[in-house]
Chain A
Amino acid sequence: MIHLHNVRKRYRRPDGGWFEAVAPTSLSIGAGEIFGLIGYSGAGKSTLMRLINLLERPDEGSVIVDTQDLTGLSASELRRARQNIGMVFQQFNLLANRTVAGNVAFPLEIAGWSKADIQQRVAECLDVVGLADRAQHYPAQLSGGQKQRVGIARALAPNPKVILADEATSALDPKTTQSILDCLQDINRRFGVTVVVVTHEMNVVRSICQRAAVLEAGQVVEVLDIVDGRIEARSDLARSLLEAA
């Protein structure tokens, strides 16, 4: 579903040198998979994820999502392609002046759905995340966990093939974290959506991922297979992340 071929992303440092956020990296994520990107702060995991929907444009390499090379698209083609890739954020990034229903409707308005279709789809998505009774509330009236459920419903609304979750549970307490992870897993199983999660917590990986790439200094150190919540770590880095969990 997602193929990154030798993608590389560098930033100019204030001293004139280069900071390599993502070293030339290749990664393939299968359809229907829940895939983790794990590493310590500054490892380049968020940048790597943002390359998938081209929020960051790679300096080199290609990004193929659902057989389409995003790096070669025009601005309007890219916008259409992005409607196929939902995104969930650590800070939720909801529109404060729109109701819960209005937030979930937002990507559908962007995609040009009819009013009737939007209304029906918003109700379905709020049902999936268990917030049907909060449709007319504003984000400020919700708890962190509820806000993130709205974020997930919003990402799910346009029937995307892929959902990217960038530290989606890092602002939440452990109990709420588990309920959000269950919600993502539920969506993955019911609708076959490929899910990519960025996290610094091995527990998140253990809880829902089938595979996870361990990152350090913009490079993939190893790709872990998670079977029945068991992780066999070969690298020191993965072992240290496991111990921290």
Chain B
Amino acid sequence: MDAITLTDAIVNLSMMAPEIWQACKETALMLAIGLVAAFLIGGPLGFLLYLSQPGQIFAHRIVNGVLGWLVNLVRSFPFIILMVSLVPLTRLLVGSTIGPVAAAVPLSFAAIPYFARLVEQTLREVPRGVVEAAEAMGASPLQIIAKVLLVEARSGLISSVTILTISFLSYSAVAGVVGGGGIGDLAIRYGYYRFQTEVMVAMVLLLVVIVQIIQFVGNRLAARLDKR
């Protein structure tokens, strides 16, 4: 590989601007679908995992055991293997196995149990006595969830979302390489296979900036919501 000057690198990258922009959109789409699935399914699942524990308001040994086992099962798959195993399902759901929407299927599958565990852990930090006080005041289970658990755990839940987003930004790069597109895919195709190191460097720098921004916003929001 010949060394190139900084000017060459910038010229190359600027010519690739449309592709970089396209890759950003693909990554954003994969991530968005995965995160929405995690909120809508993983969030309630996390509440159920917590509430079905012994001593909680929906304590149920079998439900808790089965849910915990399922979550562990999906989480034990290395992501790349999960993707391959889910190819038939992806084809069924999306009609294709390439493109960001197809890649979002295994991404969502991995994000749901991941977020469920994060939510469960966060809820455990709400003092039991506070929930008990609400029970003593005659609060219904729904009121306890909405007015006690969600409110008292909100800052921890924001931190969980931050962790989830950053982890899955990284997972989306893996999904991208196997046909999903996105920033990671671009980095591999140009930076690795075509020896355009400047593309690799630029994509990694881009990801570093995105991660820093997500973490910063997450921390600020969590701190603002935390009155403990």
- Cβ–Cβ contact A97 & B227, under 8 A: yes
Answer whether residue A95 sits at the interface, using C-beta atoms and an 8 A cutoff.
yes
Interface residue ranges of A139-176 to B (CB < 8 Å):
139-140, 154, 158, 164
Segment touching A, from B34-42, B131-139, B191-199:
B131-139
B228 touches A107 (CB 8 A): no
CB distance B129 to A110 under 8 Å?
Answer: no
Number of A-B contacts (CB under 8 A): 72
Write out the residue numbers on chain B whose beta carbons fall within 8 Å of the beta carbon of A80.
138
Using C-beta atoms within 8 Å of the partner chain, give the interface range for chain B: 20 to 34
Separation of A83 and B139 alpha carbons in the complex (Å) = 9
Query: A94 at the A/B interface (Cβ < 8 Å)?
Result: yes
* A96 engages B147 (CB within 8 Å): no
Contact in complex: B130, A93 (CB < 8 Å)? yes
Q: Are B151 and A95 in contact (CB under 8 A)?
A: yes
Of the residues B132, B138, B227, contact of A140 by C-beta under 8 Å: B227
Contact across chains for A110 and B136 when beta carbons are under 8 A apart = no
Complex contact B147–A97 (CB within 8 A): no
The reply to whether A97 and B151 form a contact with Cβ atoms under 8 Å apart is yes
| In the complex, residue of chain B having the shortest beta-carbon distance to the beta carbon of A50 | B136
Assess A79 versus B138: contact at CB under 8 Å? Given A96-B227, A97-B226: yes
User: Does A111 count as interface, using CB distance less than 8 angstroms?
Assistant: yes
B133 & A97 in contact (Cβ 8 Å cutoff): no
CA distance A78 to B141 in the complex (A): 13
Of A84-92, A126-134, A198-206, A231-239, which stretch is located at the interface?
A84-92
How far is it, in angstroms, between the C-alpha of A107 and the C-alpha of B132 when the chains are bound? Answer: 13
Q: In the assembled complex, how far is the CB of residue B34 from the closest CB belonging to chain A, in whole angstroms?
A: 28
Residue B96 CB within 8 A of the other chain: no
Per-position binary interface string of chain B over residues 203-228, scored 1 when its CB falls under 8 Å from any chain A CB and 0 otherwise: 00000000000000000000001111
Partner of A85, one of B132, B133, B136, B155: B136
- For residue A140, which residues in chain B have a CB less than 8 angstroms away from its CB? 227-228
Identify B134's interface contact among A78, A106, A138, CB under 8 A.
Answer: A106
Interface members, chain A 56-85 (any B CB < 8 Å): 76, 78-83, 85
Docked complex: B94-146 residues within 8 A CB-CB of A: 127, 129-130, 132-140, 143
Query: What 8 A-B pairs have minimum CB-CB distances, sorted nearest first?
Result: A82-B138, A93-B133, A79-B138, A93-B129, A138-B227, A96-B228, A87-B136, A83-B138
